[in-house]
């Protein structure tokens, strides 16, 4: 499978690097892979930024995966274990996170570490147990807003 990678990461790509592949036809699943080819040139495609094409081989192959199936690949450039992290959806522009503190939402600046589509490592600005807001799509969700935390079962609409 061929994938375009942002040219910014080209210098960090290596043969044999682990990759994580998601397949649209297998929602919620991730498949391990390995980088098997890195192009020796940069593509300048109008609909994308400048990219380097790589190929990733799934290990083991996914049964029933048809050629041309929609997939996304994430090359593992580095990994840290046992770190504080928040869902990527909780991080606002400028690396800010809204947290619940004394019944109100408080804006906290974080110093991020590694990040991917799912999580952002937090090097500073949050502590274990801080409650970060991930539902940021409503205008009333902003610093200073009063909040009430309810158990998940009672949070459903009535």
CA distances from 134 to 36, 47, 65, 67, 118 (A): 36, 30, 33, 35, 12
Angstrom distance (rounded) from CA 146 to CA 100: 9
Instruction: Name the DSSP class of 148.
Output: -
Residue 154 CB contacts under 8 Å (≥ 6 apart), including other chains = none
In this structure, the answer to whether residues 97 and 132 fall within a common structural domain is yes
CA distances from 62 to 45, 65, 98, 143 (A): 30, 6, 39, 45
Domain end, chosen from 18, 46, 75, is at 75
Sheet containing 119-124: order of strands: 85-87, 119-124, 111-115
Closest Cα partner for 90 from 64, 122, 129, 44?
122
Domain end, chosen from 27, 57, 75, is at 75
Angstrom distance (rounded) from CA 43 to CA 114: 26
Across-strand partners of 51? 6, 43
pLDDT score for 151: 77
Angstrom distance (rounded) from CA 126 to CA 113: 13
How many domains does the chain fold into? 2
In this structure, the answer to whether residues 65 and 35 fall within a common structural domain is yes
pTM: 0.69
pLDDT score for 71: 87
Q: Render pLDDT for 7-20 as a digit per residue (tens, 0 to 9).
A: 888 888 999 999 99
CA distances from 29 to 7, 26, 95, 100, 136 (A): 27, 6, 28, 31, 25
In this structure, the answer to whether residues 146 and 95 fall within a common structural domain is yes
Supply the CATH number for residue 32's domain: 2.40.30.170
CA dihedral 57, 73, 119, 113 (to 10 degrees): 80
In this structure, the answer to whether residues 61 and 89 fall within a common structural domain is no
Q: Render pLDDT for 50-70 as a digit per residue (tens, 0 to 9).
A: 888 999 999 887 888 888 888
Question: How sure is the predictor about 48, in pLDDT bands with cuts at 50, 70 and 90?
Answer: low
In this structure, the answer to whether residues 108 and 71 fall within a common structural domain is no
Q: Render pLDDT for 65-108 as a digit per residue (tens, 0 to 9).
A: 888 888 889 898 888 999 999 999 999 999 999 999 999 999 99
In this structure, the answer to whether residues 9 and 71 fall within a common structural domain is yes
Q: Which domain holds residue 44?
A: 2-75
Average pLDDT, the chain: 87
């Amino acid at each position: 499978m061929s994938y375009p990678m942002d040219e910014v990461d080209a210098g960090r790509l290596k043969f044999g690097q682990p990759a994580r592949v998601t397949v649209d036809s297998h929602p919620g699943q991730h498949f391990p892979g390995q980088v098997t080819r890195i192009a020796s040139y940069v593509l300048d495609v109008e609909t994308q930024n400048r990219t380097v094409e790589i190929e990733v081989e799934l290990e083991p192959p996914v049964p029933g995966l048809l050629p041309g199936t929609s997939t996304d690949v994430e090359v593992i450039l580095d990994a840290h274990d046992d770190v504080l992290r928040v869902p990527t959806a909780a991080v606002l522009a400028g690396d800010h996170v809204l947290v619940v503190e004394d019944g109100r939402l408080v804006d906290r600046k974080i110093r991020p570490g590694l990040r991917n589509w799912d999580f952002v490592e937090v090097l500073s600005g949050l502590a274990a147990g801080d409650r970060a807001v991930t539902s940021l799509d409503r205008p009333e969700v902003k610093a200073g807003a009063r909040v009430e935390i309810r158990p998940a079962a009672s949070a459903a609409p009535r």
